[in-house]
Structure 1
């Protein structure tokens, strides 16, 4: 018989794991948080400059062409770093006493010979969600939720040396099957953090220092719960 954790239990698991170890959680996601702050600040400056120089369209277009490739490459690297942090968070939520180096954990997937598969998975998922979103916003959101566990499924199968027999779409299919009947739970869990996101916004992003580790560990625990109750899929 399946015994799924409640939303409150998932969030409590994350808080219990972080209790007395908030510094570790913050360091685990420090790089991705810094990237978000830096890119947000740069975008604000660019928007301000564009407003001040509305006629300088050619220069703006040239700058965008020059920086687009760099932006894509950096974005993929940061995505891989974020995935690595989430994978470490999953191991941590499974074993709260686990000892690890939080900053170094951000680069764990770069050492994996199949690191390119994770980047490919990110790209394929992004394209599929985008295509569904072209129909209407709601189908795109539903598919994004359906595919949300593909990264963790890849991690578990890769750790078991079982990922080689799977294509990128296989991980997405497993995620869709794992999320069958649980998309509403996932959606409500996301909604339960709205107050925290608003508080982080009000504090000019300072609150994100604590919110991001708490949120990401809760999402990792959501996957752990699904995987434990559906061992045939993972």
Structure 2
């Protein structure tokens, strides 16, 4: 197995991609960023928790459904599809830096897909599993969140390559758990490396996220691509 790229290398590659492409990157993640800014400046109540979970793809669907109204939860699912659509296009961009795409239109890719409901069900399943592990203790919940973190990218990857036939929705979660064996610490440290940026974005009333969020999401896509390039688990039939 080859050496994984360091955080510095992964971030440097993303910065290189963003050079001269900031406008495109901002447009690609514009809608999720707008929701984040509204969340910070307009409504900090529990009614936005489900929406916040959808943006960060951190799970929590089950607990959010219990604590928020139906309308708020439906909105969170719409935001989820927008967020995943932009994240998936970001992965395409990482794989092909010369990719020609329409950034704003890319936010709505999965609204045109007949399989949009699968992403929602995966979100719910991840949320339920994470919630149940969190009931034991907070630490197991965090560990499972790390283990499940690549589920959506794996779903996209296998479906794009036509290798998803016969797979159940929980299979994508299992693939993520397998892929993250020995890599959860690396992913956790990658998340921590953005803590200062999140603080900066918050103290600027969310305005800073216009630039921070694309940098973060593309780095996470680059992390996944490096995992797959160095690990054959995602190719197991």
For the structure 1 residues 100 and 146, does the alpha-carbon distance in structure 2 shift closer, same or farther, using more than 3 Å as the test? same
- Aligned partner of 1:36 in structure 2 is 36
Contact in 1 for aligned 2:134/2:141 (Cα 8 Å):
yes
Give the TM-score taking structure 2 as reference length. Answer: 0.86
- Aligned partner of 1:20 in structure 2 is 20
- Aligned partner of 2:188 in structure 1 is 187
Residue range with higher mean Cα deviation, 221-230 or 199-208: 199-208
Q: Distance in 2 between matches of 1:99 and 1:229?
A: 27
SS in 2 for 1:5: coil
The gaps in structure 2 that reach 5 residues or longer are 48-67
* Larger Rg belongs to: 1
Give the TM-score taking structure 1 as reference length. Answer: 0.87
CA positional deviation for 1:231: 3.2
- Aligned partner of 2:91 in structure 1 is 90
> Is 1:132 paired with 2:133?
yes
Q: Distance in 1 between matches of 2:74 and 2:40?
A: 17
For the structure 1 residues 44 and 156, does the alpha-carbon distance in structure 2 shift closer, same or farther, using more than 3 Å as the test? closer
Equivalent residues, number: 216
Q: Distance in 1 between matches of 2:94 and 2:28?
A: 13
Q: Distance in 2 between matches of 1:209 and 1:41?
A: 14
Q: Distance in 1 between matches of 2:184 and 2:46?
A: 38
For the structure 1 residues 45 and 184, does the alpha-carbon distance in structure 2 shift closer, same or farther, using more than 3 Å as the test? closer
For the structure 1 residues 46 and 158, does the alpha-carbon distance in structure 2 shift closer, same or farther, using more than 3 Å as the test? closer
Q: Distance in 1 between matches of 2:206 and 2:85?
A: 23
SS in 2 for 1:154: helix
Q: Distance in 2 between matches of 1:108 and 1:3?
A: 34
The gaps in structure 1 that reach 5 residues or longer are 48-66
Aligned CA RMSD, in angstroms, stands at: 1.9
SS in 2 for 1:140: helix
Q: Distance in 1 between matches of 2:203 and 2:151?
A: 32
> Is 1:74 paired with 2:75?
yes
SS in 2 for 1:112: coil
- Aligned partner of 2:3 in structure 1 is 3
CA positional deviation for 1:35: 1.6
Q: Distance in 2 between matches of 1:46 and 1:150?
A: 26
SS in 2 for 1:43: coil
CA positional deviation for 1:9: 0.5
CA positional deviation for 1:39: 3.5
Q: Distance in 1 between matches of 2:164 and 2:74?
A: 25
- Aligned partner of 1:173 in structure 2 is 174
